[in-house]
Amino acid sequence: MLAFLAVAELGALLLGGAGSPLVAVGSAVIDLAPRGAKDLMVSLFGTGDKVALFALMTVLLVVITAGAGVLERRRPPFGALVFAAGGVLALLAVTTRSGSGTFDGAPTVLGVAASIIALRLLLQRLRRWEDARAVPTAAADRTGADRAGAVQRRAFIGWAVTTAAVAAAVGGASRLGSASLQAAAAIRRAVRLPEPATTAAPVPSGASLDVTGITPYVTPNADFYRIDTALRVPSIDPADWSLKIHGEVEETVEITWAELLALPLEEHMATLSCVSNEVGGNLIGNALWLGYPIRSLLARARPTSGADMVLSRSIDGFTAGTPLDVLQDEGTQALVAVGMNGSPLPAEHGFPARLVVPGLFGYVSATKWVTELEVTRFAKAQGYWTPRGWSERGPVKLESRIDTPSDGTSVKVGDRVPIAGVAWQPHIGVKAVQVKVGSAGWQDAELADSVSADTWRQWVYRWTAVAGQHEVQVRAVSADGEVQTSVQRPPAPNGATGWHGVTISAS
Q: What is the pLDDT of residues 359-386, one digit of tens each?
A: 999 999 999 999 999 999 999 999 999 9
Beta carbons of 392 and 321 less than 8 angstroms apart: yes
Beta carbons of 440 and 434 less than 8 angstroms apart: no
d(CA 504, CA 420): 13
Average pLDDT over residues 211-221: 97
- 347 pLDDT band, cuts 50/70/90, is very high
Least confident of 58-67, 169-178, 337-346, 478-487: 169-178
d(CA 388, CA 386): 5
- 36 pLDDT exceeds 80? no
- 148 pLDDT band, cuts 50/70/90, is confident
CATH topology of domain 399-506: Immunoglobulin-like (2.60.40)
DSSP reduced 3-state for 208 = coil
Phi/psi at 52 (nearest 5 deg)?
-65, -40
Sign of torsion over alpha carbons 341, 321, 235, 295: negative
DSSP class per residue in 147-161: HHHHHHHHHHHHHHH
Domain ranges of the chain: 2-177, 205-388, 399-506
- 138 pLDDT exceeds 80? no
Residues 6+ apart with CB under 8 A from 28: 93, 96, 97
User: Which CATH architecture group holds 205-388?
Assistant: Alpha-Beta Complex (3.90)
Q: What is the pLDDT of residues 429-463, one digit of tens each?
A: 999 999 999 999 999 999 999 999 999 999 999 99
Least confident of 60-64, 96-100, 268-272: 96-100
**Predicted structure pTM score:** 0.78
DSSP class per residue in 323-363: EHHHHH-TTS--EEEEEETTEEPPGGGTTT-EEE-TTB-GG
pLDDT at 18: 67
